[in-house]
């Protein structure tokens, strides 16, 4: 089951990242994931284009990144993710990767890791 999820994740990431390349420049938000949590607990951003650079900081298994609109919190279907927001691969200890370009509009979003179960952290876009 885990391998099917990872295969689907890689296919979706490839599609979303290729689509994201055509969108233009974006601000990069750096996030570090430690055992059971992200170091950044919440973000306040302005509407616009962003990429999320995630680093596996001392987690002894692979980690990932999942960005959803607040109303989709907790859903695990790929359709509940924000377009272009998946990493191109799962991250081993010490690795980093960056999402495609994500366009955030006014509202609330949540991010988490489905492999390193972390809480859902809030991004408020105002």
17 neighbors 84 (Cβ within 8 angstroms): yes
Specify the residue for token string 């972390």: 118
Q: What is the pLDDT of residue 80?
A: 75
The alpha carbon torsion through 116, 78, 99, 63 (nearest 10 deg) reads: 10
Residue 33's domain comprises: 2-125
Mean pLDDT (whole number) for 17-40: 80
Long-range own/partner contacts, residues 70-76 (CB < 8 A, 24 or more apart): 70/107, 70/108, 70/109, 70/110, 70/122, 73/110, 73/120, 74/120, 76/114
Q: Give the domain CATH number at 118.
A: 2.60.40.420
Q: What is the pLDDT of residue 94?
A: 97
Can you tell me the distance from the alpha carbon of 100 to that of 90, in angstroms, rounded to the nearest whole number?
14
Can you tell me the distance from the alpha carbon of 112 to that of 118, in angstroms, rounded to the nearest whole number?
6
Is pLDDT at 11 greater than 70 in this prediction? Answer: no
Confidence of residue 116 (pLDDT cuts 50, 70, 90): confident
* Phi, psi (degrees; rounded to nearest 5) at 53: -100, 115
Considering only residues 17 and 113, tell me which one the structure prediction assigns the higher pLDDT. Answer: 113
Q: Please state which of the ranges 30-34, 45-49, 69-73, 117-121 shows the lowest mean pLDDT.
A: 69-73
Side-chain-facing half-sphere of 41: CA atoms under 13 Å: 0
Q: Please state which of the ranges 11-25, 45-59, 86-100 shows the lowest mean pLDDT.
A: 11-25
Domain count of the chain? 1
């Amino acid at each position: 089951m885990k391998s099917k999820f990872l295969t689907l994740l890689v296919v979706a990431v490839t599609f979303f990242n290729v689509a994201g390349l055509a969108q233009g420049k974006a601000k990069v938000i750096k996030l570090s994931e430690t055992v059971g949590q992200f170091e950044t607990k919440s973000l306040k951003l302005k509407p616009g284009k962003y990429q999320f650079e995630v680093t596996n900081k001392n987690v002894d298994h692979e980690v990932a990144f999942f960005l959803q609109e607040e109303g989709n919190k907790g859903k695990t279907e790929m359709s509940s993710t924000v377009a272009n927001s998946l990493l191109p691969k799962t991250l081993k200890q010490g690795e980093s990767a960056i999402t495609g370009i994500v366009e955030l509009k006014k509202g609330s979003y949540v991010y988490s890791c489905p492999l390193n179960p972390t809480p859902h952290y809030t991004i408020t876009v105002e």
